[in-house]
A = this chain, B = another copy of it.
Amino acid sequence: MDSWWITGFVDGEGCFSVSVFKNATTKAGVQIFPEFVVTQGAKSLLTLKNLQDFFGCGRIYENRRKDNHRENLYRYCVRSKKDLREKIIPFFEKYPLNTSKRQDFMVFCKVMDMIENKSHLTPEGLMIIRELAATTNRRKIRV
């Protein structure tokens, strides 16, 4: 798999998102959940497996469709902050995205930096993270 092929594919099918969930058991009262995801139908599951092998991290999840007439979707997800920091982010810094997903990626990196610097433990930092996170979660669904 060529590295630029991967960037092109992720420009098309990838997503860098950050979710913020309430979680009273954490110091900040919330859990911040950065995620890199690439989605494909069953027919291109092998491509997701190749991506997983290439990056050497992440898992593939099956999303069952309610409509049985359509093929199931599969999601290659990297959720480990360590893997995101050490494998995913350096790759896309070396082979930059071309579409508007480049902005999503920059926001994603900014949030990762803020988590690393414990900014999410201050109310101001958490507010900024929430605002940045909201920009990465546009609803993108294929029917």
Per the bound structure, the CA–CA distance linking A44 and B97 in Å amounts to: 11
Q: Are A4 and B11 in contact (CB under 8 A)?
A: no
Per the bound structure, the CA–CA distance linking A6 and B8 in Å amounts to: 6
Which residues of chain A in 1-32 are interfacial with respect to chain B, using CB atoms and an 8 Å cutoff? Answer: 1-14
- Assembly stoichiometry (copies): 2
Given the known interface contacts A4-B4, A9-B8, A12-B12, the answer about A100 and B141 at a Cβ–Cβ threshold of 8 Å is no
Which size bracket describes the interface of A in this complex? Answer: 20 to 34
| Additional 10 contacts, C-beta under 8 A, given A9-B9, A9-B12 | A1-B98, A5-B5, A8-B9, A8-B12, A9-B99, A44-B99, A44-B101, A47-B99, A140-B142, A143-B143
Per the bound structure, the CA–CA distance linking A43 and B3 in Å amounts to: 24
List A residues at the B interface (Cβ < 8 Å).
1-14, 40-41, 43-44, 47, 50, 98-101, 140-143
Residues in B neighbouring A4, C-beta threshold 8 A: 2-5, 8
